Structure 1
Amino acid sequence: MWMDLSYFTSESVLIFLIYMKGFQKEQQLDSKDAIILHQFSRPKNGVPSLSPFCLKMETYLRMVDLPYQNYFDGSLSSQGKMPWVEYNYEQVCGNEFIIDFLEEKLGVSLNKSLSAQEQAVARAITTMVEEHLYWTIAYCQWVDNVQETQRMLDLPGPLSDLLKWILCQLTGGIVKREMYCHGIGCFTKEEVYSLMEKDMRTLATLLGDKKYIMGPKLSSVDATVFGHLAQAMWTLPGTRPEQLIKGELINLAMYCERIRKKFWPEWFVDLEDFCYDSDNDTSSGTPTCMLDLGLFSRTDTLEDSDLSLPSHSNTHSQDSDHSGRSLSDSDIEADGSDVEQQVKGEI
């Protein structure tokens, strides 16, 4: 029997989920001289995260070449946000504040080569993407295309299908309510997609034929844009965002693929599906699960120098077996315990 959970309070559903799953003891990590990135569990379609904010933060850490340790415990920050980081027992949430914190503590920066005017433009683009485009993509993920999103979730246990359905129904209800409070939720479906298309066309025009958004060198806005466009590129098969990015706005697709190839070597993508084909059954086949590299560093495989960064003596690259799985996998996952929390953080 169909049941609409959009009117349930998040607290009541979380209590129900905890009751079904039982309490799990989580392994605690020591953040002394180590960056611990708290985020949602990997989906099972090969994409690192269904959250553009989590994907942005992890991509940023790779761009600045800082070793980090993933912790998929699902616990939100004290402000109720995801992702968040710990470093030397300090906790910071909010991507903008995390980046400022890391720049201050570790001296890293992707924006040193930008002029004051270019930094202002980059901030304006970031605001458009995170405060406007984000809501249209979230609507497509959790409301209009929720069945496909549900299939991508990876929750263990005999009740996984039920838990995924409950999570998606609850998340969809929260997205609709928050979109309404934001203002964009007052519009029709066609109007929401029209706004999304305008934002994507704006990004395509700003990018043009450049390598990155602000020119030949990386800047922090690239982590932002990639984190959001990757959702349209790889998590929304057959939808209007995918049609746009793999069709008319192909320069955005090439941009996403360029960043994926450089900073996510373990993220496998079938390049035969690079361009949108309406006759393709994008749901066929078995998706490749994301392999975690634990403490990631690209220092040893850096092909060109985009960054003005200090040297970090504790960076290292992972050794892998013939399957590509890390032989020293240090990523921690608490077996789906983030189900109860995902609906409250950044989606």
Structure 2
Amino acid sequence: MLTLLTYPSAFGLFSASPFCVKTAYMLQKSGQNWQRSDMLDPRKMPHQKLPVLRTPERLLPDSDLIRDWLEAQGADFDTGLSDVQKAQSRALIRMAEEHLYFQIVLDRWGNDEVWPILYDTFFTGIPALIRRPVSNSVRKSVLKGIVTQGIGRFSLAERLDRVERDLEAISAYLWQSSFLLGDHPTAADMSVGPILAAMRATPADTPLTRRIKQDNLLNSYIDRVEQAIPLS
């Protein structure tokens, strides 16, 4: 049996990480027999990140590499799509994972209203004596990475403008069909859906959470993805 090493459930989602949710969706759609194993500290994992898929041969990191492996086993996450649609799928995935995702990270880790909730959710396993300095060090490292990535260099207004343009692009697809590229979920939905769900689920009232919650089109889409690929 395959084992998905994932961050635990949080904020009403299968996992706090949209990449872990994406991988769970792919496993579910692949027809493979799999189970989850939760962990909070991925430092001993390849790439020091989650998700990781434990296969009979090795530990396989990264949701894209896991997708490649599942497709090599016979899975097809883009059934019925043309070459142009597959190219559009690739672009949508990259937009969500390389731009919108980092907006979520900053919205959570850089927000003083959200931080106490993250602290209680992710750091309770650390001995009390060192919990505060360890958690503060992790937070500082995450925020430094966001500045290096670039999102952290923009003002809130600039960030929201960039997010808005992405959401408008996603919405343009959803006005045409129930899912991004047709009437059934494909790889793009397994990526974009969890990103939007994570944005909506951030446990505080922020401009990003309000933007999603007030948008009937995006809210309905998130719900459709979750209903189309149910995760136990």
TM-score, length basis structure 2 = 0.87
- Kindly indicate whether the alpha-carbon contact (under 8 Å) linking 1:37 and 1:83 is maintained by their aligned counterparts in 2: yes
Name structure 2 gaps, 5 residues minimum: none
Deviations 1:217-265 (A, max 9, x none): 2211111011111112222442112211121x32111011112233336
2:200 to 222, 233, 249: 233
CA separation of 1:236/1:191 partners in 2, compared to 1, >3 Å: closer, same or farther? farther
- Give the match for residue 259 of structure 1: 225
- Give the match for residue 62 of structure 2: 94
CA positional deviation for 1:136: 0.8
Matched, 1:126 2:93: yes
The percentage of counterpart residues that share the same residue type is 23
Q: Matches of 1:158 and 1:114 in 2, distance apart?
A: 47
Matched, 1:137 2:128: no
- 2:36 is paired with a residue of what secondary structure? strand
Q: Which moved more, 1:138-147 or 1:111-120?
A: 138-147
- Give the match for residue 178 of structure 1: 145
1:204 to 162, 171, 176: 171
Matched, 1:169 2:150: no
- Give the match for residue 147 of structure 1: 115
- 1:153 is paired with a residue of what secondary structure? helix
- Kindly indicate whether the alpha-carbon contact (under 8 Å) linking 1:126 and 1:225 is maintained by their aligned counterparts in 2: yes
Q: Matches of 2:129 and 2:63 in 1, distance apart?
A: 31
2:59 aligned partner, one-letter code: Q
Q: Which has the larger radius of gyration?
A: 1
- Kindly indicate whether the alpha-carbon contact (under 8 Å) linking 2:194 and 2:222 is maintained by their aligned counterparts in 1: no
- Give the match for residue 115 of structure 1: 82
- Kindly indicate whether the alpha-carbon contact (under 8 Å) linking 2:123 and 2:135 is maintained by their aligned counterparts in 1: no
- Give the match for residue 85 of structure 1: 53
1:181 aligned partner, one-letter code: T
CA separation of 1:166/1:70 partners in 2, compared to 1, >3 Å: closer, same or farther? farther
CA positional deviation for 1:194: 2.3
- Kindly indicate whether the alpha-carbon contact (under 8 Å) linking 1:141 and 1:149 is maintained by their aligned counterparts in 2: no
Deviations 1:113-145 (A, max 9, x none): 111111001001111111111111110011124
- Give the match for residue 25 of structure 2: 59
Deviations 1:91-111 (A, max 9, x none): 21111111011110x201111
1:117 aligned partner, one-letter code: V
Q: Matches of 2:36 and 2:25 in 1, distance apart?
A: 12
Matched, 1:39 2:12: no
TM-score, length basis structure 1 = 0.60
- Give the match for residue 191 of structure 1: 158
- Give the match for residue 269 of structure 1: none
Name structure 1 gaps, 5 residues minimum: 1-33, 266-292, 294-347
2:183 to 205, 211, 216: 216
Aligned residue pairs, count? 229
Deviations 1:132-187 (A, max 9, x none): 11111110011124336426616656957973x55653343223211222222221
1:173 aligned partner, one-letter code: K
- Kindly indicate whether the alpha-carbon contact (under 8 Å) linking 2:3 and 2:36 is maintained by their aligned counterparts in 1: yes
- 2:49 is paired with a residue of what secondary structure? coil
- Kindly indicate whether the alpha-carbon contact (under 8 Å) linking 2:9 and 2:15 is maintained by their aligned counterparts in 1: yes
Q: Matches of 1:263 and 1:251 in 2, distance apart?
A: 19
CA separation of 1:130/1:166 partners in 2, compared to 1, >3 Å: closer, same or farther? farther
CA RMSD in angstroms, aligned pairs only: 2.5
